Structure 1
Amino acid sequence: MDKVRWGIIGCGNVTEVKSGPALQKVEGSELAAVMRRDAHLAEDYAKRHGVAKWYDNAEALVHDPDVDAIYVATPPAFHHEYALMAARAGKPVYVEKPMAKNHQECLDMIAACEEAGVPLFVAYYRRGLPKFVEIKRLLDSGVIGDVRFVQTTYLQQAKDNLGEELPWRLQPELSGGGLFVDLASHTLDILDYLLGPIGEVQGFAKNQAQRHQVEDIVTATYAFESGVMGTGIWSFNTYTHLDKNEIVGSLGKMTFSTFSGDLRIEGLDGLIEEKDIPNPAHVQQPLITKVVEELRGLGKSPSTGVTAARTNRVMDGLLKDFYHMT
């Protein structure tokens, strides 16, 4: 197709800067319609962003003949329903991360899109960011030798004044878990991109602070299919903030955060390079560019339903005892 005309289901905060404008700015892409259950909010978004059509009904947007592809930007609880709806309509779908509430929903979504013959993409946009493209290039070049293991530490201070109604990210019926699911999914997915799929996984999840009903600390040990080993800890009730990944190889190591631009490379003789690689103004734009190129027959997206489902499988493995998953 010459131009991909998008429809957004759920035009909330994530679409204001991160993704919505990118759908309009990428070559061969256009934002044709938006939908929110609150008609006034849908209309307001459409007017502020110069979008021609708005809806308060997802079915109406999906079946609009002027919409070629669907972007599902709702909380994870609704990704499965809307992805299947788009597939039945024969339209490609781009789903926010995490892909769904659990791995089984991901498999259902993949099967539905395969049966309908439409592609399925997931908004793990770090796979398109310049920083992580550069890290992958450096790893593949052998700058730190053969990768041996990776360690992740993510610490976050507890947030006070959550309000009478908890944010949806702390409601497992909407998010699939707590902040671990929302934030650690980025790290687990980018490690999959950099080091290949994770095979075996073991871990523990607890609610230490008892401030809500979801996990607030998770520890993990995993073995990548490549033979690389990994460990991680994510704690959301500590005294400070820390976002650190270390990939250690036979000749050196890389240290970088998941959410900032920093990158440090050390070798046998000390520091090799240290730099900051900033994100673009619309952080999803590089990945959306790849998605649009694939839909136009000009390239391939590095983030698909198949790659994203692997991250849900890992998170299910780490949270299964906490949520009593079967």
Structure 2
Amino acid sequence: MEHINWGMIGCGNVTEKKSGPAFSKVPHSSLVAVMGRDAQKAADYAQRHGVPKWYNDVDELINDPDVNAIYIATPPNVHLEYAAKAMKAGKAVYVEKPMALSADECEQMNQISRETGVPLFVAYYRRQLPYFLKLKELVDQKAIGDIRLVKVQIHYNPYSEEIGDGAQPRWRVDPAISGGGHFHDLASHQFDLLEYIFGPIASGKGISRNQAGLYQADDIVVASFEFESGVLGTGSWCYTLNPEQRLDESEFIGSKGKITFSFFERFTIRVETAEGTETFEIPYPEHVQQPLIETIVQQLRGEGTCPSTGETGARANLLMDQIVQS
């Protein structure tokens, strides 16, 4: 492809700044059509972002002859359906994370990609953010020696922040729509990045519970996991704590020191060794998905390779399934 003309399915919050504008800022790439089930919302998005066409029918967007690549920015419950339609129509697919409702659905998507020869990419954009590339560089350069242990912690209450008192829970905590709860939404980013840095996770197990009874999905998960390299990991995800207890802090513990960082909240990386403490402040770019989208465009043009594919993206779903089912 000389120029990538994107059609976007979904006009939700993730598309306003994180992803949508980036498609037209990457060289040789343009967002040419958007689709939303709410026609008024789709038209408004197109007008505000300077997108030439809008639809409220997914088939019309996928079959638009001007569109040669599809971005699926919807909840996970329709990822398989829409990705299958797009790939069978010969359109490359970039799908939001988590990749699907389950590892089984991810495999179905990858099988269609293999059968059609149409590439499939997943929005695990941390694989290209400078903050996390620096983290990977520190590990690769053995800044803290050989890694022994990975600790992941994220504790807060998105229920009170997102929906307020008296409102109904949002789709992220409806397993029929999201595949799980906030663990499924956020831990997918974490496990994907950990595999990018350390290689495959051989196995994981855990305990998931609903303690507060605010919605159907689990609201606390604890887990242990082991990388094929022998590095061990632990994690805790709790979503019903007071705001004062909010915590997003993870650690890589090595034979010569420790790296402390945040997956979502802050832009500081702290490296502690016997020689002292060094910090790196690396903010996110304006559109966090833009660096990854650039690699997708490069691959579609035959000029590079994207590090986040359907095959790598499915791994996070597989591990989360192992943990919550155990």
Return closer, same or farther for 1:163/1:23 CA change in 2, 3 Å cut-off.
farther
Other-structure match for 1:206: 209
Match of 1:265 among 271, 291, 306: 271
Return closer, same or farther for 1:293/1:229 CA change in 2, 3 Å cut-off.
same
| Secondary structure, counterpart of 1:18 in structure 2 | coil
Partners of 1:250 and 1:268 lie apart in 2 by 11
Other-structure match for 1:94: 94
| Residue identity opposite 1:191 in structure 2 | L
| Residue identity opposite 1:308 in structure 2 | G
Other-structure match for 2:293: 288
| Secondary structure, counterpart of 1:248 in structure 2 | strand
Cα deviation for residue 159 of structure 1 reads: 3.1
Other-structure match for 2:227: 224
The normalised TM-score by structure 1 is 0.96
Partners of 1:45 and 1:163 lie apart in 2 by 29
Please say if residues 159 and 169 of structure 2, whose CA atoms lie closer than 8 Å, have aligned partners that are also in contact.
no
Match of 1:274 among 279, 287, 298: 279
Other-structure match for 2:191: 188
Q: Deviations over 1:117-176 (max 9, x none)?
A: 011100011111001111111211111111111011111036332554321101111000
Cα deviation for residue 270 of structure 1 reads: 2.9
| Residue identity opposite 1:43 in structure 2 | A
Please say if residues 205 and 324 of structure 2, whose CA atoms lie closer than 8 Å, have aligned partners that are also in contact.
no
Other-structure match for 2:312: 307
Return closer, same or farther for 1:200/1:21 CA change in 2, 3 Å cut-off.
same
Partners of 2:246 and 2:307 lie apart in 1 by 30
| Residue identity opposite 1:7 in structure 2 | G
Cα deviation for residue 91 of structure 1 reads: 1.0
Other-structure match for 1:4: 4
Q: Deviations over 1:90-117 (max 9, x none)?
A: 1110000000010000000000011110
Return closer, same or farther for 1:168/1:115 CA change in 2, 3 Å cut-off.
same
Partners of 2:11 and 2:177 lie apart in 1 by 16
Q: Deviations over 1:201-235 (max 9, x none)?
A: 11000011111111010001000111110000000
Instruction: List aligned pairs for 1:134-145, cutoff 5 A.
Output: 134-145=134-145
| Secondary structure, counterpart of 1:110 in structure 2 | helix
Cα deviation for residue 316 of structure 1 reads: 0.4
Partners of 2:165 and 2:303 lie apart in 1 by 45
| Residue identity opposite 1:37 in structure 2 | R
Partners of 1:291 and 1:29 lie apart in 2 by 10
| Residue identity opposite 1:221 in structure 2 | S
Partners of 2:259 and 2:200 lie apart in 1 by 19
Please say if residues 8 and 34 of structure 1, whose CA atoms lie closer than 8 Å, have aligned partners that are also in contact.
yes
**Sequence identity of aligned pairs in percent?**
53
| Residue identity opposite 1:112 in structure 2 | I
Please say if residues 158 and 238 of structure 1, whose CA atoms lie closer than 8 Å, have aligned partners that are also in contact.
no
Other-structure match for 1:324: none
**Structure 1 stretch displaced more, 163-172 or 69-78:** 163-172
**Structure 1 stretch displaced more, 153-162 or 81-90:** 153-162
Other-structure match for 1:77: 77
Partners of 1:159 and 1:93 lie apart in 2 by 31
Partners of 1:17 and 1:305 lie apart in 2 by 24
| Residue identity opposite 1:255 in structure 2 | T
Instruction: List aligned pairs for 1:115-154, cutoff 5 A.
Output: 115-154=115-154
**Gapped regions of structure 2 (runs ≥ 5):** none
Q: Deviations over 1:228-269 (max 9, x none)?
A: 100000000123111111111112221100012110011123
Partners of 1:136 and 1:290 lie apart in 2 by 18
Other-structure match for 1:53: 53
Cα deviation for residue 200 of structure 1 reads: 1.1
Return closer, same or farther for 1:255/1:31 CA change in 2, 3 Å cut-off.
same
Partners of 1:247 and 1:4 lie apart in 2 by 39
Please say if residues 207 and 217 of structure 1, whose CA atoms lie closer than 8 Å, have aligned partners that are also in contact.
yes
Other-structure match for 1:175: 178
Q: Is residue 255 from structure 1 mapped to residue 260 from structure 2 by the alignment?
A: yes
